[in-house]
Amino acid sequence: MTGVVAAFVALVSVAVLGYLVGAGGLLRAADELVLSRLAFFVATPALMFATVSRADLGTLASPVLLTEVVAVVCVQAGYVVAARLLWRRDRRELTVGALASSYVNAGNLGIPISIYVLGDGALVAPILLVQLIVLTPAAFLVLDRGARSVRSALLLPLRNPLTVASLLGLACALAGLRLPAPLMRPIDLLGGAAVPVALLAYGLSLYGSRGAPPAEERPGVRGELALVVVLKSAVQPALAYAAARFALGLEGRALLAATLLAALPTAQNIYVYAVTYDTGRRLARGAVLTTTTLSIPIMAAIAALLG
């Protein structure tokens, strides 16, 4: 379990640093928005392009990916139905909640766990690609949608830096194009800042959230957070296991990979998205914090039972 522990220690350490930076007065709570926008508009697009452009697209046919897709679809559908009926959330709030209940931390946690625990870094690549190229642009389309023409709505994903970076990376991968090292170095340098900047913004938000309740506090928010945590931490890995074991007949490392990767916590990117679109910030923050805390014992138990 060394890989799991090391990955989470790194994640938590940077978030704690963000909290301490806020507590020490080096950054103000208002700087959270600056860091989040830096991650969203600059660093994360660079990371997406670098990751997708170098990916082996042949791995998209992995049976592990199919189990993850089934789990994501079922979890998101369950959340949307429950949140709509119980708390009357609007489409933007439902979008953030659906992401918080299903979007796994496949980047800075999934990759080291895939390498050090499962022994194959390629196992997480299809999940990362689907989240970047399909799930994220689809969510942005809903979050951005307003009183626009059909043509404007269809072009909305192309106005988002994360979507554009993913599509450019996919085009390079399909064409077998590898940019020269002098061009990739600054992209890699910026991409390397995506995870720590997002984590610093998250830690700073925890310090800034002390005291008065946030403006978006509304009836049912605690129950909604509980629903998201249960769906993400328990239901999603259980569904992935069921799909892998009983529908596809997977065993051994493939079964472990399907279950373990579905048990990854909510990605901190979801909080960045919530801040950028100014909706569901409390829910996204709570989901990242709680599922990250629970994921260590949950993934350790999964590895012990199936490994």
pLDDT of residue 152: 60
pLDDT of residue 231: 98
Report d(CA 122, CA 55) in Å as an integer. Answer: 9
CATH 2.20.25 fits 2-208+220-306, yes or no: no
Please, which residues have CB within 8 angstroms of residue 134's CB and are 6 or more apart in sequence? none
pLDDT of residue 141: 82
pLDDT of residue 56: 76
pLDDT of residue 215: 45
Task: State both tokens at 168.
Answer: 């450019």
pLDDT of residue 137: 85
Helix (H, G, I), strand (E, B) or coil at 119: coil
- CA 178-41-288 angle, 5° bins: 105
Helix 44-53 to helix 194-208 angle (10° resolution) is 140
pLDDT of residue 116: 76
Q: Is the entire prediction scored with pTM above 0.85?
A: no
DSSP labels, 203-220: HHHHHHTSSSPPTT--TT
Report d(CA 126, CA 70) in Å as an integer. Answer: 14
Helix or strand holding residue 226 (H, E): helix 221-230
In the predicted model, residues of the chain with pLDDT beneath 70 are: 1-4, 58-60, 145-157, 209-219, 307
Q: Does residue 297 contact residue 228 with C-beta atoms inside 8 Å?
A: no
pLDDT of residue 151: 62
